[in-house]
Structures are given as C-alpha cells and as structure tokens.
Amino acid sequence: MTESNAPKGLEGVIAAETVLSYVNGTEGILEYLGIPIDQLATKSTFEEVAFLLWHKRLPKAAELKDFTAQLRAHYTLPTPVKELLQNIPPKTAPMHVLRTAVSYLASFDETPDDISPEGLREKGMRLVCQMPAIVAYFDRARKKLPLVDPDPDLNIAGNILYMINGEAPDETMARALDVCLILHADHGLNASTFTSRVICSTMSSVYGAVTGGIAALHGQLHGGANERVMYMLREIGSADNVTKYLDEAMATKKKIMGFGHRVYKTLDPRATFLKAFAKDLADSTGNHDLYELSTMVEEVMTARVGSKGIYPNVDFYSATTYKSIGIEIDMFTPMFAISRVTGWVGHILEQNEANRIMRPRAAYIGPHNAPYVPFDER
C-alpha cells in the first residue's frame, strides 16, 4: 500500500488563477475585481455586479442601461419549461427542480454549445434571469397558486419577489434581496465554482457547467447550510434556550450551522455586513425576536469557540434576512444559486481564456497484485 500526503479536500491546493474575487480568510477580506464587498453592497446593484464579473470592469452608465435592458428581455421562460414546473411533484426539493430545469433550458437554445465569450455572456444573461422564474413558478405551482409572469419593469431582485408573492415588492425588501445577491455572487474557488470550472474545462456547455454547480451548491456543507441555520434557530426556539441548546450540541459534537468557514479564521465580511442589514430589516418586518435569537447564538458561540477562529459565516445572517423578507426556508439555497450563477459564468469565461482540461491525479493507496478470487471460492 502506498502512503499519501495528499491534502484532504484539496485544502490549500492552487487549482486555478482568477482576478474575479479575492478572499483573505485571515484578515476577513472579500473583493470582487479588487473592489471591497462592502463598497459594492452599499453602492452597487446586482445587475452591475454581474457586468463586473463578466467584463472585469464596472460599466459606464449607458452600458449598464443597455445591459439591464438585455437582461430583462430574457425574463420569460420557454413555455415547455413552464409546463414542466407545473407537473413536477410538489414535494420535490426546489434545488432538484432548479437543476433539472436549467439542464432542460439547453433544449431551447439554438446554439447551446457555443462557448465563445459573446455566446457565454448571452447564455449567462438567460440563466441569471430565467433561474428566478423557475424557482418562482415552481413555488407557486406547488402551493396551487396561479403563476405570476415576470415584470420587465422590475430589477432582478424585485422581479423575484413579485413572481413569488404576486404583488409589487416593498422597496426595502427588494433592496435587501439585491444586497444578498451581491454578497453571494462570487467567492473564490468554492466547491460549486470549482465544479463548474472542471466541467467547462472539458469544453462542455455552460448549461452542463451550471447544472453541475447547482448540484454542488445543494449540499448542506455548501449552499444548503443557510436552510439548516433556520431549522436550527427554530429548534432553539427562544433566547432563554440558547445556552442549553448550544452546550448540549457541543457536548455531543453536533455541528452548529452557520459557524466556521473553510477559509475565514476571523469574521466573514459578508456576515458582518448582513448582520447590520438584518437588524434593520427584522425590525421593519416584525422579526425582531428572530434577530435577537440570532445575536444571542452568536454571542454564546463567540465566547465558546471564537478563540479557535470560529465565527458566523454568511449563511448565519442570510437565513435571518431571507426569513424576514418572506422567503420559504427551502428556497434559501435557490436564492443563493440565482446569485452565484453570475460567479460561475464569470469563472467559465475566465477558464476559457486559456483553457486546459482539469485532470488532477489521485494518490493510489490500495493494494497491488491482489489475487482474483473465482466465484465458487468467495
């Protein structure tokens, strides 16, 4: 048997170069194309961030206006996809629905395998605009509510809320979702982005690469963590039960969702921004108790494990934010996917600039010259 010193989970291994996002886990820094995330979350829009990630620069006013118009022209889903969503069993997890429907979208693209920069950006616009429609249509269909068609006068965040709720979104809630979409757009070579880059490195289509990204994001150790944060908060119930719950959970080595990060050994800058944002939103939507519960959990956890570099991550306060704007718990991760597709497409564009198929080695640690045992001797 051969010994191996291969890092578990590829930790610390450099597998690609990127200019899209810079993550410094020691100092708690996240930048898109060198721009600090708090600057973008405060001053920008999700549409502008999509342009930034796909063109590697901020747009001029006329460019953003044209880009926004192109995006809104892609809001409408092909009719067969809409019909599919009405016939999927209501119990199906929305992330399974999203993965299936995105793959199906390739059937309605006349050039699904076009991986030129122009072709990829055009398909990126389709995906970032039609994924919200997929999620919203399915959510209403499973509740037996009439489907609400997109409103091209609304931005992506506002349109998502409109299609889900069937009424014009509150400006505060729409801005809150817009900020969440900005904060989740890209984050280095995370698992779903790596998956997308591996797939596109074979010169596969963007639909295949994004479908793979969605599958990776679904996992509870990646995008699915925000849903489990909300379930944990529900299980805790009230601030009075926080210490008891966390002590028992840590004694049995139960994972506390929303805490710790593979990269950040200090406060996740996205969580820092969302915490302040979540407070204002919770107060204005009658969810103050939920926010107070969240801060109590953070305080106790910081006292217990902060010295080990374990702090709230983006999932922790994004759960509170999504709940405050009325998003169903099992829709949290689809919201993440709707944002992160901008990063996936950006990385696919970047990978294709100087592509080489990703083909790492596996260290073999099994036996050699093992005998074949015939059926009657086993």
Active site residues: 222, 261, 315
Tokens standing for residue 35: 């721009």
Give DSSP secondary structure letters for 215-232.
HHHTSTTTTTHHHHHHHH
Are 18 and 347 spatial neighbours (Cβ–Cβ below 8 Å)? Answer: yes
Within 13 Å, how many C-alpha atoms sit on residue 163's CB side?
Answer: 27
Alpha-carbon distance of 196 to 203, in angstroms, equals 11
| Residues contacting 333, CB < 8 A, separation 6+ | 94, 95, 217, 218, 223, 224, 226, 227
Identify the H or E element spanning 32. strand 29-32
| Residues contacting 230, CB < 8 A, separation 6+ | 319, 322, 323, 329, 332
Alpha-carbon distance of 48 to 202, in angstroms, equals 29
Alpha-carbon distance of 334 to 338, in angstroms, equals 6
Residue 203 backbone phi and psi in degrees, to 5: 70, 30
Q: Which of 315, 133, 358, 307 is nearest to 222 (CA)?
A: 315
Alpha-carbon distance of 183 to 179, in angstroms, equals 6
Residues forming beta bridges with residue 22, ordered by sequence position: 31
| Alpha-carbon distances of 50 from 44, 137, 183, 194, 219, rounded to whole Å | 11, 23, 12, 19, 24
Alpha-carbon distance of 287 to 294, in angstroms, equals 11
DSSP for residue 312: B
| Alpha-carbon distances of 363 from 8, 208, 221, 358, rounded to whole Å | 11, 28, 24, 16
